[in-house]
Structure 1
Amino acid sequence: MKRGVLLYIIFGSLYSCNSADPAVTVATEKKDTAVSCESNMPTRFGTVAADTSLTISDSISHEGMIWIAGNTFGMGAADQECRSDEYPQHTVTVAGFWMDATEVTNAQFRKFTAATGYITTAERKPDWEEIKKQLPAGTPKPADSLLVASSLVFTPPAYTVPLDDASQWWSWKKGADWKHPQGPGSDIKGKDNYPVVHISWYDAAAYAKWAGKRLPTEAEWEYAARGGLQNARYPWGAEEIETGKPKANTWQGSFPDKNTGWDHFKALAPVKSFTPNKYGLYDMAGNVWEWCSDWYDANWYASLKNSNTVNPAGPAQSNDPMEPTVPKKVVRGGSFMCNASYCKGYRVTTRMKTSPDTGLEHTGFRCVSSK
């Protein structure tokens, strides 16, 4: 979901999240609407970039990381449940790498900001000159009182709403950021071991650079999420998410108005709250979406179908046919908001795309290192 999802509402225009990607023809087209809710929304900061002045760590600590031995695997979907951009399955070889066992936590991110003085995207005042480049011509400038540092906060309605309008459960809140996840009056006291959220791709890349690490490629992320289980739909195997014991932090009940909390959490969960996959990685499904380094290209897999690609770094540029003027990066893994009726983002092959200036209450990251 892009950080500007509600700008059309703020500016008095209509915002609508289409119910499905028209290119999707697989069985779940009418059930899974999340791909469109990542699209058709203007970016807010168009040209904000990572802080290139940050100093890279001279030494890399592998504390809290897991070594993933390289291998060859089938990347992408092998069943009929998935979106069109998850096909075809193709052969990929990745070299060994270290990966954070958990999503980056509030405590870890605090050390980064304390050491560098870094200010996240959500904490910066938006630039109208950049915003209007992504809006329809003639869109009037909003009041200065609206052009303030803010972020999108999950605000579930008290009643059932159509699943084709994400504005029903996302709201701009002035002062919402990683330290104030639900806006002013909220904080992260006592939540050092929760994943940091309201993090844009630029924020995640800046942290990784400071730590001497990097963001995972999409291929590395999927290979790691599979935990050595080829063609399994989920990090734990084939068992459906609400069968047996809780396996990940997702949404149970009626999205977005009622979460039963069957998995013991109704919003974010502390890291390591669920059993790791066979590689020892936690929360590769659910909790928060995780940034990858790759640009998103809807046709990328098709271009690789007849070759064994070694350490793919993704396309050279973004290609989102639904929103071609807005560059997108890949996010993976799903979040606490994913439900089978709305978003099965917790599948290991699910690909979502989001503008790099985006940070929301369900978006975080983890890092990798080849050294």
Structure 2
Amino acid sequence: MTAKEAVPVRENEPANDDASVIQPIGFTPAQVSSGGNKLLLSPKAIAVVASLCFGALMLVYLLVARSLIFETQPADADVSVSGFAVRLGDGHLVLPGSYRYTVSATGYLPQSGEVEISSDSNSRHAVKLERLPGHLQVITEPAVPVRILVNGAEVDSSEGLAKSIPAGRKRITVLTERYLPFSKEVEIEGLDNTQTLTASLRPAWANVHITSNPAGATVSVEGKILGTTPLTAELVQGDRVVDISLPDHKTVQIPVPVTAGVDQTLQTVDLAAADGTLRVVSNPPGASITVNGEYRGQAPMDVALASNRRHQLRFFLDGYRSVEHTVDVRAGDLRDLNVDLTAVFGDVTITSSPPEAQVFIDGRLAGVAGETFTLPTRSHTITVRKAGYEDYQTTIVPSSKLKQSVRAILLTGEQARWSNVPAEITHGAGGKMLLMRPSSEFTMGSSRREQGRQANEVLRKISLTRPFYIGTTEVTNREYRRYQRMHSSSHTNGVSLDNDSLPVVNISWNDAALFCNWLSARDGLKEVYRTERGRVVGFDGSANGYRMPTEAEWAWAARYERGAMRKFPWGNALPVGKNSGNYADSSAGQIVPAVLRTYNDNYAATAPVGSFGPNHLGLFDMGGNVSEWIHDLYTIGTGLSTRAEENPVGPQEGDYHVVRGSSWRHAGLTELRLSYRDYGAEARDDVGFRVARWVN
């Protein structure tokens, strides 16, 4: 509808006469000529157009394409490039993109790769091909089977041909039996070519002339028989061992150093007659055998003896009389010899304490103690046993000429255990300690009627049963400086207190406790004192480490002797005994206000530990030299109790610790007594300490 759109007619609406109505008209197709189809362009025009298009394309290609050039070794290698690539001179013309290439040449391993061609520039690549391995034919003069080594490593070869040797300069070594190695540098050209190497081999042997007396002996080297003497043998160079053997004669081995090409004649070998063999059996078995004084072994055994001479044989066994035989044998003979040994006995009397213990000899019950036993004169194990006691065991060799005795002291289990605990030990700082095993009840302190007594010396009943070690001397400056290297005990009025052998002073109780913990750790023991920030806050009564003596231990070690309590270190009365210890004597008058005018110990201040004699337990300076820090906190008791304190370790709380014993500053009656008690916490120049430890 080109003029107006058709308008639909609705029912009940009047028709519009003005509306256009399209009327159909007739259609007649055009007449086509009946002649053939006619081309728009002639073939010549089409050829011209095609050439123009191809030229345009080539122009575009030339403008867009980039050159790809491969510089190859060898130069005549073939290069192929994947995709559309136009060969142009030594290279290819390609469009930008990725291309795979392959470079190959006869005698070389082909090499492939991938290149990326950008639109910015041409691309040039260098490719060096690896030559194929070569082959080497080794020809030897003379012709012998060979092994071939290349640079020291053997390669597979067959009839002298070694295949697939990488190209390059190689060290070729030719090995063969009985000839010296041949070695030469060879340039292997590779390219799958076979080269020839001629090797002139030099002999690796020498002629060795061998003779023997008698002749006809068999000659062998390394198990290979070469012939019989006299013989000239070709031996390969090196250290050779030549065996020369002949029936009924001893085989001789001769070391022969052989140098290639150097012939030699060996000295004639004299072959001695072969040994004879003596098959020896003893009754009882196990007898030792000597031949002409030389030990050979124990029967039963075969004994080799030189033939045609006499030999002295001796047989001996513990508990039996020795037997001697003289024998001779012929070369190659085998003879039997049976030897009967006669037992020899000795008497041993065995007693025991307590009596009537059982006696076991070599593990068998033999009787009871108090009897005499007749035993073979060899080593026996004696065990003496009684219920409630540990076994006693020893070994003894009875003698037929002397009656012997064994006395067995039987120990209870407790006694046996203590016998294994050392009575003396040395701690890690170098001081000695003695084992104390108290089992005592005693009264610590002093009576109110005792002259010089102080109020803090309250009587206390003590039961001391726990064993312990205690130092024989006070800790010295040398020992303490192993813990604190820079410690100085200083001096007093110009008198040094700092020499190595003097007791350490000017240390607090806390310092002494920390030394004990250090010593425990050094010796692998459990520390006694519990610390926080370098201060002692408690102790472990079950620990086996080092500590200071408890007051009860110190009082027992210093005073208790045969059930009584000693008053002074030297006895029970004044005056001070000669050389009793280091006190405030006449030589200390310039240092201390009060001195013992009639006593001189030759030390104005501290003395080297152990300068004076020990007490009854072997402990030094329990009185005098320096007073001693004690493990216990300080307190004053309320009076004597009817109940004994068992192994006391002091109160749980307190500000001070006990100090026991007199020092080099003391001359008064009060201080010289062994019951004298002092207290403190801080360092003093007359207070040191000694170490102790419990035995668990």
In the superposition, the TM-score normalised over structure 2's length comes to 0.32
The aligned counterpart of 1:288 is 626
Distance verdict in 2 for CA 1:182–1:337, change over 3 Å: closer
* AA partner of residue 292 (structure 1): I
Distance verdict in 2 for CA 1:246–1:239, change over 3 Å: farther
Q: Which structure would you say has the larger Rg?
A: 2
Q: Is the 8 A contact 2:427 2:433 kept in 1?
A: no
> How many Å apart are 1:220 and its aligned residue?
0.8
Match 2:514 to one of 178, 203, 206:
206
- Cα RMSD of the aligned pairs, angstroms, is 2.6
Say whether 1:256 aligns with 2:593.
yes
Distance verdict in 2 for CA 1:239–1:105, change over 3 Å: same
Q: Is the 8 A contact 2:477 2:501 kept in 1?
A: yes
Distance verdict in 2 for CA 1:241–1:257, change over 3 Å: closer
* Equivalent position SS for 2:482: helix
Q: Distance in 1 between matches of 2:427 and 2:507?
A: 22
Match 2:665 to one of 320, 337, 341:
337
Distance verdict in 2 for CA 1:331–1:111, change over 3 Å: same
* Equivalent position SS for 1:112: coil
* AA partner of residue 181 (structure 1): H
> How many Å apart are 1:86 and its aligned residue?
1.1
* AA partner of residue 233 (structure 1): K
Q: Distance in 2 between matches of 1:70 and 1:294?
A: 19
* AA partner of residue 466 (structure 2): A
* Equivalent position SS for 2:456: helix
Say whether 1:348 aligns with 2:685.
no
* AA partner of residue 310 (structure 1): E
* Equivalent position SS for 2:629: strand
Q: Distance in 2 between matches of 1:204 and 1:241?
A: 33
* AA partner of residue 445 (structure 2): G
The aligned counterpart of 1:308 is 644
Distance verdict in 2 for CA 1:269–1:60, change over 3 Å: closer
Say whether 1:181 aligns with 2:491.
yes
* Deviations 1:212-257, CA, capped at 9 Å, x for gaps: 2101111111111115252220233213252x41201111357516
* Deviations 1:53-96, CA, capped at 9 Å, x for gaps: xxxxxx95595111112122221214522112212242332412
Q: Distance in 2 between matches of 1:232 and 1:188?
A: 30
Structural mapping, 1:76-91, within 5 Å? 76-78=445-447, 80-81=450-451, 82-91=453-462
Match 2:571 to one of 225, 229, 237:
237
> How many Å apart are 1:195 and its aligned residue?
0.3
The aligned counterpart of 1:360 is 684
Identity of aligned residues (%): 32
Q: Distance in 1 between matches of 2:491 and 2:638?
A: 35
* Equivalent position SS for 1:204: helix
Distance verdict in 2 for CA 1:332–1:279, change over 3 Å: same
Distance verdict in 2 for CA 1:279–1:241, change over 3 Å: farther
Q: Is the 8 A contact 1:66 1:98 kept in 2?
A: yes
Q: Is the 8 A contact 1:71 1:93 kept in 2?
A: yes
Say whether 1:222 aligns with 2:555.
yes
Q: Distance in 2 between matches of 1:332 and 1:186?
A: 24
Q: Distance in 2 between matches of 1:202 and 1:233?
A: 30
> How many Å apart are 1:338 and its aligned residue?
0.6
Divergent runs of 4+, >4 A: 59-63, 185-189, 257-261
Distance verdict in 2 for CA 1:301–1:208, change over 3 Å: farther
The aligned counterpart of 1:125 is none
Q: Distance in 2 between matches of 1:84 and 1:188?
A: 32
Q: Distance in 2 between matches of 1:94 and 1:112?
A: 32
Count of residues in correspondence between the two structures: 235
Q: Is the 8 A contact 1:90 1:301 kept in 2?
A: no
* Equivalent position SS for 2:658: strand
In the superposition, the TM-score normalised over structure 1's length comes to 0.58
Which structure has greater helix proportion? Answer: 1
Q: Is the 8 A contact 1:85 1:301 kept in 2?
A: no
* AA partner of residue 437 (structure 2): A
Structure 1: unaligned runs, 5 residues or longer: 1-58, 121-176, 319-326
Q: Is the 8 A contact 1:93 1:308 kept in 2?
A: no
The aligned counterpart of 1:106 is 477
Q: Distance in 1 between matches of 2:580 and 2:575?
A: 7
Q: Distance in 2 between matches of 1:288 and 1:98?
A: 20
* Equivalent position SS for 1:284: coil
* Equivalent position SS for 2:478: helix
* Equivalent position SS for 1:202: helix
Q: Distance in 2 between matches of 1:97 and 1:345?
A: 27
Q: Distance in 2 between matches of 1:262 and 1:106?
A: 24
Q: Distance in 1 between matches of 2:513 and 2:600?
A: 34
Which structure has greater strand proportion? Answer: 2
Q: Distance in 2 between matches of 1:249 and 1:187?
A: 15
Match 2:434 to one of 61, 66, 79:
66
Distance verdict in 2 for CA 1:202–1:241, change over 3 Å: farther
